[in-house]
Chains A and B, each alone.
Chain A
Amino acid sequence: MHEIIRQGRKELTLIGPISDMAFDQLIGAGTVARVVAAWIGNVAGGSGYGFRRAFEQGIPRPIVVEDHSNFTVGLALKAAAMGVPFLPTFTGLGGDIVRNHPRIKPIDDPFGGPAPLAVGALRPDVAIVHVQRADKEGNAHLWGNLGLTVEAAYAARRTIVVCEEIVSEDVIRSDPNRTVIPGLLTTAVVEEPGGALPSSVQGYWRRDFEPFLAYHRLSRTREGFEAWLREWVLELAGRPAYLRKMGDAAVERLRVREQRLAAPANFAP
């Protein structure tokens, strides 16, 4: 995410269900023209100030929001993943999200039941997903929190798999049900341990809550945001530099060292 800012990308459309401060940071840095999402803020305090400045005052640039609920974002990605133009749903009826919505339209049930809404397919150019491990072909094992990760990978034209570790194909093939993203969908594999911090990765990293609070405090003003951006993004070369800046003690405090292994599943033929 931070590398997108460093590369000076512009005019991006961000897609997500409940986004977190990464969206707020991309928006605050001026990389974003449009957001398709259900929730844009900071889990630490609610408001995402970068998002609010852009939406309310056009700072650093105006943005357009296509509002969704979590379910409708998911259905839009799932429709693209399935190769169909839309999926029907009953969510949102009676509310304002679905009123005059560019991607959600009332339809009749051809089987004579109550009228649902159609959620149109949403095909991202790129999906960036973070997983625990993948082989070099991009076959990815993910466990714990799934959210819309799998739908995003299936819906996107290109999928970038960021992993904690690249493992041999034997590891992947030992547990094929855990391969939630097959390599045929993967365009690139990146081994970037700690790449999801300060968010958690099951079995690898605990959530680091302090940066969410600190960012919330700092980003309240544009000057505070700019200072944060320089310190944590623009003046760092990449993720290894980010981890060095955090300091060994802080990184080690977040690393999961305990083991709680799943019982093996016997795949013997």
Chain B
Amino acid sequence: MTASYTRRELMVVAAGREIHDHEVVFVGMRLPLLGFGLAKATHAPDAVGLFENGVIRDRPAEAFIYTMGDPPNIAGAITCLGLLDVMSLLQAGRVNVGFIGGAEIDPLGNLNTTRTSSGGTLVRLPGSGGGGDIASLAGRTVLIMEHEPRRFRERVDYVTSPGHFPGRRRGGPATLITTLGVFDLSPSGVRVRTLHPGVSPKQVREATGFALELPETVPATPAPTADELAYIRTADPEGFWTGDSMKSG
């Protein structure tokens, strides 16, 4: 496999493929934002995106954006509501799929973005944002993570965004996309769906701080198509989000 695309471009493509046509999507920033635009441009032209600042739009932003509040994400929107309006749509069950990232994850798909002592000293992280709401209320969630042992823990220190738990009303984590592969999540744990090209089962086991269900044969994550790559490189021309040097923040 020649390095004709970056790992983050592959993650964007995997994120985009989690969106089905006609779905209502609670879009996050960074890779999911590109994944949403990619899905719209390819297999899901009638998907609609909600942003927690209140924006609902069914076209990708008109130019590169750093945050969902940037002017190109407002111009051409269907509507600009308030935060409570889009959260109400989420709570009322009108959102099919939401994307969230986390600093730490456990086998039930609980995400921690609040605080951790895993490195020996207390580290304060930024907090939930809308992540806890999406995790609680979306029809299903897709999680996006850096795949490192210190982030994949038997139990997270703090559950910012709840995963699977008894008595959950709706939804829960369905898919996890990492820098190493794509995984199915359920109340019984994490199962490897695909590994990115060049990643071995041993490597993913070593990078995961809990037991994974690893089928005997695991297919490779399908490579981006030329059309998918063309879209990503138009939407992120400098590789700000998808270059290999991107920060994990």
Residues of A bordering B, CB below 8 Å: 17-18, 37-41, 43-48, 51-52, 55-56, 65, 67-71, 74-75, 78, 89-97, 114, 143-151, 199-200, 202-203, 206-207, 209, 212, 256, 260
Contact = CB atoms under 8 A, between A and B. Distances in A.
Interface of B: 52-55, 66-67, 69-71, 74-75, 80-84, 87, 90-91, 110, 114, 121-133, 135-137, 158-162, 165, 167-169, 247-249
A147 B67 CA distance: 13
Contact of B71 (A41, A43, A68, A206): A206
The 8 closest A-B pairs by CB, nearest first: A46-B249, A41-B126, A94-B162, A69-B132, A39-B129, A95-B162, A94-B165, A71-B133
Given A91-B133, A94-B167, A200-B71, A71 B87 contact: yes
A44 B66 CA distance: 8
A38 B128 contact: yes
Max chain B Cβ within 10 angstroms of own Cβ: one of A75, A94, A209: A94
B135 A146 contact: no
A22 B162 CA distance: 29
- The secondary-structure label for the interface of chain B is loop
Max chain A Cβ within 10 angstroms of own Cβ: one of B71, B80, B167: B71
Contact of A70 (B52, B114, B122, B158): B52
Contact of A69 (B66, B67, B131): B131
A70 B160 contact: no
A96 to B, nearest CB: 4
Contacts of A90: 91, 136-137, 169
Contacts of B82: 74, 146-151
A90 B130 CA distance: 14
Contact of B124 (A52, A93, A209): A52
Contacts of B159: 94-96
Nearest to B84: A74
A145 B161 CA distance: 25
A253 to B, nearest CB: 14
Contact of A74 (B70, B83, B160): B83
A146 B67 CA distance: 14
